[in-house]
Chain A
Amino acid sequence: MLDLFIGNISSAISHEILMISTENKELASRYKKERDNLIVISEKYRHNINPISDILPDKDIEYIKSKVKNKIKSELSSRIKKGYKNINLNIIEELIEKYLRAVKVI
């Protein structure tokens, strides 16, 4: 369950960073319904990870953050290597915080 949770959060953040980096970001963000689905699915998984009603222990938070960060970096780095420009890797940590807070992990 934890792996699925990490997979979804990583995918949602990679998607957001790629979206911000396109010249058509206004258009890319227009139809939010499908993208919000990833958050809804992540929330479902979160409800199966203990402690359900409290934030996770520091050790687990660090583990999740590091796994999510690696997954996002790998997804985006392959594109940067191919020549993608304007992908801002500096916002990864800020977005991880935002998303984990949204699904009450931290």
Chain B
Amino acid sequence: MRQYRVIGKPLRRVDAGVKVTGEALFAADVKLPNMLHAKILRSPYPHARILRIDTSKTEALPGVKAVITGKDVGPIRFGFVDTPRYPADQYPLAIDKVRYVGEEVAAVAATDEITAIEALKLIEVEYEPLPAVFDPEEAMKEGAPKIHDEIVPNTTCAWQDWGVGRAARPFKVERNICATTSISYGDIEEGFAQSDYVREARFFVPATSHAAMEPHVVVASYDPTSGKLDVWLCHMSLAVKQYWLSKTLGIPQSKIRIHGCYTGGTFGGKIDLFAHEFLAAFLSMRTGRPVKIVLSREEVFMACRLSHRMIIDLRIGVRADGKIMAQHVKLINDPGAYRGSSPVVMFLAHAFRIPIYDIPNWKHEGVGVYTNKSICMPRRGHGSPQMSFAAEQLLDMIAEDMGMDPAELRLKNVRKPGDVLPNGDRLDSCGLRVGIQKIIEATGWKEKRGRGNYRGIGMGLSAMFSGAMYYPFASAAIVKLNPDGKATLFTGQSEFGQGSDTAMSQIAAEELGLDLEDIVIVSGDSELCPIDLGGFLSGGVYVSGEAVRRAAEDAKRQLLQVASEMLDVEIGSLQIENGRIFPKGNPQKGVTFAEVVRYNIQKHNGDPIIGRGFCKPVPEVEFYPSLTKGAGRFTDAYGFIVAVAEVEVDPETGRVKVERVTIADDCGQPINPANVHGQLLSQVVMGVGDALFEEIVTEEGRIVNASFEDYKIPGVYEVPEFVHIPTGTFEPKGPFGGKEVGEGARAAVIAAIANAVADAIGARIYSLPITPEKVLEALEAKKRSR
């Protein structure tokens, strides 16, 4: 184990103080002089033509400053995916048709919120309801309602804007199919032919809500004299918001400032550009006044994206000796009325699974299908929870057929350090094997398994990228030495609870030989901070952290150079400790950072010492991997998770209680063990909600549980005991050995709970969530089959 000064210490979060006093600024807390409040009129229909909108009564209401409809905004396209093959398919305001309940139809800006709400009631919209379709398999049939016409791009696509020299092509929608994926390697038929045990099953995963405690908010203020737009919003990537606001509003990126403020939880649910963010800016440009939009919790459920619904047909073949020979996945993804992240999630459902097991023959086919429902986007794990729920269960089923311990089956197939994946990704660190071995010991796995009496234990494995090639393709950082010898760090990472402010500061402090308190961090502000990948795809530590380390290293190099001159000692003979530089073994002779900075300013033409660093998610490749074919490098390092859940099932009520979850995680060297523990505990509790009760319920496309009254998320009583077993790995390419930790575990937890329930009741449940009704049904079916 390497010894560090700051890294690996459970130091207090740098943002904790302002968060316990209420001082921390969130977008909802921003109030500007002369600010207007806007509200959005949303579609009450899942599918309807807009025949006429009359806003004249609204405009006449005192206090109303602007009313806009799709006609005012025009056919501006945006979307999470905007590639040559898949052009963006959304509009900020519906133009001629609405495609889901909650879609944005008109917006009003008024002097106060109440007036804006009153004003919405005065907008007259005449709809012609159209036949709607809610089931993806129905939607693919000939003669199903047609949700989209051909999607014809009217501008460059995001790929082109970020340097890929291929223009967007029109997208012809056939049978409501919005995306397809087909990835394969090896020979799938041959693989099954060589298998002695083959099982197949169909699994269902419903949509869920991210349910971050902070509802989505935007404040936008456009200054016509300078052409500048100031924005405060909930985000997890400056680059994505700034790019899309620039593109849709026609304002240069440099003139859009995303202000630094804290974001109240994201879990993937704040990555997209949302219509309300565009609309606030558009209304501010139109009125010349700041405009604020605060969404209600119901609006967040309807219009701020859900996790992806999936139907997964899975077939796995295993040889008698336990070697997995083939895996065939056929998945149907229902992203709702717009494409959302459909091609991405179908790709990731593959990409997050291939680093786990060495399976020589693999076929992964996916089809994304439009339906008249709310749009789906990434949620913590993005495809991994869905696919892991299916794959980890099917492996257990095969192990049962074989009479083999499922942990043993996993040990025989998990990848090991040094493995190269079919796409070329190399695993320089991989704690799966050691994780399984440790967790078997720690949980008493062998004794607890199959003990009956409605108590069960189950295992789940998952993996996650540490950043990937997605625009803006890079993270950079600046470390500015101050005259007092302390440093200010500028990073485009933004703090939404994951602990990036603390982790980035610790990395800078470690590299410079300073204490955490000596670093002042400026983050999450597009005008002050350099380019950054942001906090999605889990590249925070691995990519942005490495950029921070390199910036600090650059500053340190300069400090050493000047100190060498001051002390007349070669750089190689100098040592840094505690803000001082001195000849090795002679600390008395040293100079402080402050002295070095002041000396440099005096002697070297005012140079104050500023370090810069940058990093790319995958240094060797230029652009994205192919989502459709799965070709190209995905990431440079994977985080791995082994989870074991212990449950007790009440056979009378069908209720499942998760008693304990143990996680053996491989996040490389923990930057801050307290934060690592916090991220894992967070995912354990979140996973309990996913496994047992979270589900978006719709009737005719309308979400009927769009409140915390009806959509339960885990509360303090749902928290199981959590045991954390670090695997003690080290990622050689990561900053101080670190990699992903905040996203991957949720999938393993859900899978482990599902397997534990099966162990407890001796029957399988193939759909999430595992409700008491399903448990009772499974017990009944088991009884009948006897």
Do A and B truly interact?
no
B residues near A (Cβ < 8 Å) are none
